[in-house]
Structure 1
Amino acid sequence: VLTELQSGFSFHLSLARNDTIYIIGGHSTESNTRPPNLYKIKIDLPIGSPAVNCCILSGGISVSSAVVTQVKENEFVIVGGYHSDNQKRLVCNTVNLEDNKIEIVEREAPEWTPDIKHCKT
């Protein structure tokens, strides 16, 4: 397992498709940062011992504490979250999971209300 997943890593987003889990963003309590992480964890369950393979992918986003929802079989939407302790993330992303690949693209955000834009939490 990756060291980054063991040393105080939290508030990430997780998406699953078939036998693969994708971990996006997150907050490292050790360094108090939100690096643009993107991990792919593939789980093979053959007869006998299971195998877990983990790799770091490029194309992640800096996000923690966001909301993610599935909108189609292979499509998810990420809304809001935080870039840092005092900087909200007022953008949205579409995540496409197809053919064992992941693509994250920015999409049009909703019209945020003033209380969301200006409140501290």
Structure 2
Amino acid sequence: MSVPHPGKPVRGSKSGLPIMALFDLLGRNWAMGIIWNLQNDSTTFRELQQRCESISPGILNNRIKELREADIVERTIEGYQLTQRGKKLMELLRPFGEWSRNWSKEVFNYTKTRSKQTKDDM
């Protein structure tokens, strides 16, 4: 699957709007999980695969290629990490964590059982 580009039709939209291209990319299997698991540090392919639990090596490889082409993830000596653009994306996504906690409590009566919440829990 190719990386969605603004100005071209993408899954779910023919508008070519940049936000629709981003939604297409982030909505792909494991794309958000990969970004989420890279938010705090760089990691190797194998470590990232373990963090993402059931992801196959092929899917992980494809998503990393797409996220690298989109300048969200980069490869370094230590492994894979978020680019500056990827870190900015994470800053924008963190408020969704707060929103989701309120939503899950108010709509589904779900509350976190851990005593301490971390950025990873969002």
What interval of TM-score do these two structures reach, taking the shorter chain for normalisation? under 0.3
- The structure with the largest strand share of the pair is 1
Q: What's the TM-score, normalizing by structure 1? A: 0.20
